[in-house]
Each structure stands twice: as C-alpha cells, then as structure tokens.
Amino acid sequence: MKATQTNITFNTRIQDIARTMGISPRARHLIHGGTTNDLSTLKPEDIVTLVREGVLKDQDALFWLSVLAVQAEQEATHHEKLATIDELSGVYNRRTFIDTFSRELTRLRAKYDRNQYLAKDQPLAVSLAIVDIDHFKNINDVYGHSVGDRVIKGIARALTKSIRGGDTVYRYGGEEFAVLLGETNEKEAHKAAERFRTTIKKIRFVGMVGNKKKTFRITASVGIVVVHAEDIKKNKMTDTLIPIFVDRADAALYEAKHTGRDRVVMWHKGL
C-alpha cells in the first residue's frame, strides 16, 4: 500500500510538471506508460549532453530534469525517514529522541532567559515520561515474538493517539517508549502519564497458545521526570544533561516496577 501511494504521489507530481510546461506529445506519452526513451535513469549532465548534441529538445530536457529533481527529493525524504523512524513501531527512534530532547532543553533555557516576556501561567518546564510494558518477556514466551511485535505496534499507536499536539513519542529501546511533553509541569505530566497507562490497559490483543486463540491485555509502568528551567540555567551543554534526566526517569520507572507495576511514579530527590 505504501509503495502504491508513493507511486501515485510521484506520478501526480510529474503530471503537474507536464501540464505546467506543456511538454511535447512524445514526452507526454512516456508519462502515461510509454517506455521508449525514458530518460529518468540518466544523470542531469547526460541530459544536458543530449541537448548539446541536438538529440533532445530544450523543452523535453527541462521536463526530464524536473523528473530527476522530484526523484531526488523523494529519495532524500525516504532516507531521512529511515534515519529518524523506528521501523517496527512507526514512531521516532532513539537517535531522534536525543536530538529533540537536546533542542527542547536549549529552548527551555532560552525561555528562562526571557521569561519576563512570557505569560505568568506558562510552565518553564519540559517533562519526560518513560513507558515500559510490564512482563513483556512473558508475552514473547507465551505467544511468540510476532505477537510481541504486534504489542509494540499497538502501544506505539495508543501513545501517539493519547498525546497532545506538540508532544512526541519515541521508541527508546525494546519495550520502552519515551514521551516528551513540552511546557508541562508536574501535575500536567502526571495526568498525561495516567492517560497513557489507562489507555494501554484497555487494549485487547489476540494470540495463539497451542491451537487455542486467546485474548489478553497488558499493563505498563511509567516513570516521569520534570525538567525546570532553573535546573539547566547554568549549563549551556544540554547534551551532557540528557543522561542525567533519563536516569531520573529510569529511577522513577524502577520504583513503579518494584512497587506493583501498572502505575505512574514521579521522580523526586529521594529516589
């Protein structure tokens, strides 16, 4: 389905180029499925050479150069997606999380520097929630890894639907997801994390045990850390702060796991 949609998008854009340029009947024939003299596999310099040798008209050369530009743009978009998206879950990957968290911390410090211009009720904070599926190994052991993969995808969809606009979901690793919540204080972060937890708990999954189909539910534990502007105001190297705040969220998650699971814990200095 994705490949078909990509082809439709590509062909539509080529048709738009053709209409805009008023290309020759021969080139128009190629757009509609002709295969003779298809120049889309050539390099731009090769097309320029054909024009100089009188083999290709200027108008047709412009068309094929436009085709190459569209192809290059789509290839760049595809490679960017591979670099930022987790293939299994479809959400952003860990590398993108690190980059985005760093930018969020830099933005937070900048807001602190000009906080006199901000609304008084605007939180000078960003929150990180780490969501971990409880007993995930048991799911793989009982139902198989393919069902485990479906659980990962299901959780990713559930989290994506549960966040606010501007918040982002990442697959941090294995059965762990990270959610960045911009301009969010403790109360709002805890409310969001409870929403994640209860949403996950309602999902039904189906797996086979022997010859029997079974429906099961899962739970998740959530650890939260809230980063206030005051926490980072003196440190301009935001990359060095990320491991500290991730460790704090992990400590809160550890507490959630060891006090019953299926719960939300906020990091505090006593953890």
Residues with a known catalytic role? 175
Residue 1, amino acid: M
| C-alpha dist (Å) from residue 252 to 46, 68, 243, 247, 248 | 60, 51, 14, 9, 6
